[in-house]
Amino acid sequence: MKRLFYILTLTVAASAIHAAPVYHPPGANLTYGDVSNSQSIMSDITNPAASAVQLERDGAQVQFGLISNIGLGIEYGQVDNIFNVIDEKAQAYSSGLAVTVPTLTGNPVADAAAIQNAIDVPVADLNGVLATVAADGYGKVFGSMNLPLMPVVVGNDFLGGALVFDASASVISKANEIHDNIDIDYSTVVSQLTTWDGVSPINLGEVSLDINAQTVTVNNDTTLQTRAAGIGELALGYSRQLMKREQGGLFGGLRAKYYKVGLAQTATRLGNLSDAEQLFQDIRDAEFNYDSRFGLDLGVLWVSENYRLGATVMNLNSPKFTFPGLDVSAYSNGAIARLLGQDYVYTMEAQLKLEAALFSTNRRWALNAGLDANAVPDPFGDDYQWATLSAAYLTDSWWIPGARVGYRGNLAGEKMNYVTLGATLFKAFNIDLAMALNDVTIDGTTVPRGAMLNMGLALSF
């Protein structure tokens, strides 16, 4: 299991083909939050109204990214030493779980009671550990990128505002366990002992007992599931000033998006897993099934000299994507078979994002706050609802770097909290890092439960 994330990372690299995936904020937005700012072109693909503000303030007519965003991230569930735990417990499905059965007396009733006493505790422990792993243990690897030269922002008097073209992608992989409780059937033990040949295993439903080897072997539908989702997006947006007053101006924007979403998934019963490489090979070689839909974003920004207030509705039409289920002919557990065999539906639910920024008189210093008003799921149904706070030093100098520090917390789902740090170098290169404040132990070492790194290069003319 330790090599799982290596293979998932290869999957990310091979599959990356969504400008702002809910699980991975793009570019400098990782630190800033999903707020409009004058330091990053990525703000032009956050609030659809932002591009007209940016071009008007900078006096530029064209902005584009050379490679405006490349990002990678990882997230673990809250189960310490999860790989070691699964490797250890998986032995009960292959080489067997060690038990201590006392010497049989020849009395089938008494011997049956002794067998039950010997088996109940270790099997209950195995059940408990695997149930905990299923509930809280998982691993995610994800990445996002904008295609070279994207986004492109063009504004002039003829347009009366700004057009934004974007082509981007993200991919996410997740590995988790689906638990099938290990059920023991003691109803036939007495009759089996009465005719026992002294060698054959005793059949106890989903487990079999080898009395001579003092082991219990498990055979049920506990499953290791791996999934990967790739989201390609083409976007066209338009923004302009809607109203101007002495106190400030109101800007509006809309963005139409074409999504192509692919899903690959595999599931392997723990009892059929000869080694971890089999699982890795399955997800790496799995074919993606694709579905396509259109999405629509709307945004408004009130811009004053020293503050901004904005709101964006992402995926107003809540596009849905449907993917076929897996072949479950090898499964006996009806609930797990139904779960894996049914069509999988991913809905990009509509989300309202609120933002605010306060600037110093010289506009070199900024405080930013962002809030998702509601939670939305990622492609695997895990909810995200970000709240962000950041402080930044902004600069137009080629030699004096810009800097920013922030905090972001997920108010839904796993409720992960991150501290973020970023810099802008030579007026064009952005690098941002996020480290989770929640810890987990992996292979005996305490590490953050999550980390993200973004880099990008963008220019204005």
**pTM, entire model:** 0.87
- 330 Cα distance to chain centroid: 29
Cis peptide, bond prior to residue 151, ω within 30 of zero: yes
Report all structural domains of the chain as residue ranges with CATH numbers, in order of start.
4-78+137-182+220-460 (2.40.160)
The SS3 assignment for 44 reads helix
At 10, the amino acid letter reads: L
Q: Rounded to the nearest 5°, which phi and psi values hold at 427?
A: 65, 0
**pLDDT tens digits in sequence order for the chain, 461 residues long:** 444 444 444 444 433 334 468 888 888 899 999 888 766 777 767 899 988 886 666 555 777 777 888 899 999 888 776 767 777 777 778 788 889 988 888 899 999 999 999 999 989 998 898 888 888 888 888 988 888 888 888 887 777 888 999 998 898 888 888 999 999 999 999 999 999 988 899 999 999 999 999 999 888 888 888 888 999 999 999 999 999 988 889 999 999 999 999 999 988 887 776 655 566 667 777 888 999 999 999 999 999 988 999 999 999 999 999 999 988 888 888 888 898 999 999 999 999 999 999 999 888 899 999 999 999 999 999 999 999 999 999 887 788 888 999 999 999 999 999 999 999 988 888 999 999 998 888 777 888 999 999 998 877 65
Integer Cα distance of 408 and 420 in angstroms: 7
Whether residue 71 contacts residue 453, with contact meaning beta carbons closer than 8 Å, is answered with: yes
H-run or E-run covering 45: none
- Classify residue 270 by its DSSP letter: G
pLDDT at position 433: 96
Q: Which residue is it, tokens 């110093």?
A: 360
- Classify residue 59 by its DSSP letter: -
pLDDT at position 279: 60
Integer Cα distance of 352 and 111 in angstroms: 65
Whether residue 105 contacts residue 111, with contact meaning beta carbons closer than 8 Å, is answered with: yes
Integer Cα distance of 388 and 436 in angstroms: 14
**303 HSE (CA, 13 A, CB side):** 26
Structure tokens that stand for 181 in this block? 């409780």
